[in-house]
Chains A and B, each alone.
Chain A
Amino acid sequence: MNEPILRVESLAKRFGGLEALGGVDLAVARGEFRAIIGPNGAGKTTFFNAMTGLLRPDRGRVIFEGLDVTGEPPHRLVRRGLGRTFQITSVFPDLSALENVQISLLGHARQAWSVWPKARALHTDRARELLGLVGLDKAEGRAAGTLAHGDQKRLELAIALAGEPRLLLLDEPTAGMAAQERLESIRLVHRVARELGVSCVFTEHDMAVVFAVATRITVMHQGRVLAEGTPQEVRARREVQQVYLGEAA
Chain B
Amino acid sequence: MRGAGGMNRSTVISILSAVALLGVPWVLSEFWTFIAIEVLAFALYAVSFNVLLGYGGMLSFGHAAFFGVGGYAAAILVKSAGLPAGVAFALLPLAAMVVAAAFAAVIGFFSVQRSGIYFAMLTFAFQMLLYTIALKATGLTGGDDGMTGLKPPGLLAQPLYYYYFALALIAPALYLLYRLVSSPFGYTLRALRANPRRVQYIGVDVRAHQLATFVITGAFAGLAGGVFALSTGNVFPGWLNWTASATPIIMAVLGGVQTFLGPALGAAVYVVLEVLISGRTEYWPLAMGVVILLLVLAMPSGLAGLWQRKAAEVAQ
A contact residues vs B (CB 8 Å cutoff)? 52-54, 73-75, 78-79, 83-84, 86, 90-95, 99-100, 102-104, 106-108, 110-120, 122, 159-160, 162-163
A119-B201 in contact (CB<8A) = no
Closest 4 CB pairs of A and B: A107-B202, A78-B203, A74-B200, A119-B187
Interface residues of B in 196-247 (CB under 8 A from A): 197-206, 209, 212
State in angstroms the CA–CA spacing of A108 and B202 once bound together: 7
Known A-B contacts A90-B198, A163-B202; the reply to A117 vs B183 at CB < 8 A is: yes
- Hey, which chain B residues are within 8 Å of A108, CB to CB? 202-203
Q: Is B114 an interface residue (CB 8 A)?
A: no
B206–chain A nearest beta-carbon distance, Å: 7
B190-A112 in contact (CB<8A) = no
B149–chain A nearest beta-carbon distance, Å: 38
State in angstroms the CA–CA spacing of A99 and B190 once bound together: 10
- Hey, which chain A residues are within 8 Å of B212, CB to CB? 113
A-B contact count (CB 8 A): 103
B115–chain A nearest beta-carbon distance, Å: 15
State in angstroms the CA–CA spacing of A115 and B176 once bound together: 9
Known A-B contacts A73-B205, A116-B179, A117-B183; the reply to A107 vs B188 at CB < 8 A is: yes
A94-B194 in contact (CB<8A) = yes
Q: Which residue of chain A has the shortest Cβ distance to B185 in the bound complex?
A: A115
A104-B194 in contact (CB<8A) = no
Known A-B contacts A75-B203, A95-B191, A162-B202; the reply to A106 vs B197 at CB < 8 A is: no
Helix, strand, loop or mixed for chain B's interface?
A: helix
- Hey, which chain A residues are within 8 Å of B202, CB to CB? 75, 78, 103-104, 107-108, 159, 162-163
State in angstroms the CA–CA spacing of A78 and B190 once bound together: 20
Most buried by B among A78, A113, A160: A113
Known A-B contacts A112-B184, A113-B185, A114-B184; the reply to A75 vs B200 at CB < 8 A is: yes
Known A-B contacts A83-B201, A112-B209, A163-B202; the reply to A106 vs B184 at CB < 8 A is: yes
State in angstroms the CA–CA spacing of A107 and B188 once bound together: 8
B60–chain A nearest beta-carbon distance, Å: 20
State in angstroms the CA–CA spacing of A127 and B191 once bound together: 16
B183-A74 in contact (CB<8A) = no
B188's contact among A91, A112, A163, by CB below 8 Å, is which? A112
- Hey, which chain B residues are within 8 Å of A94, CB to CB? 190, 194
- Hey, which chain B residues are within 8 Å of A84, CB to CB? 201
A117-B184 in contact (CB<8A) = yes
Q: Is B182 an interface residue (CB 8 A)?
A: yes
B187-A106 in contact (CB<8A) = yes
Known A-B contacts A75-B205, A90-B198; the reply to A115 vs B191 at CB < 8 A is: no
B188-A103 in contact (CB<8A) = yes
Q: Is B186 an interface residue (CB 8 A)?
A: yes
Q: Is B17 an interface residue (CB 8 A)?
A: no
- Hey, which chain A residues are within 8 Å of B199, CB to CB? 103, 107
B258–chain A nearest beta-carbon distance, Å: 10
- Hey, which chain A residues are within 8 Å of B179, CB to CB? 115-116, 118
B238–chain A nearest beta-carbon distance, Å: 34
Most buried by A among B197, B203, B205: B203
State in angstroms the CA–CA spacing of A241 and B184 once bound together: 51
Most buried by B among A54, A86, A103: A103
Interface residues of B in 236-279 (CB under 8 A from A): none
B182-A107 in contact (CB<8A) = no
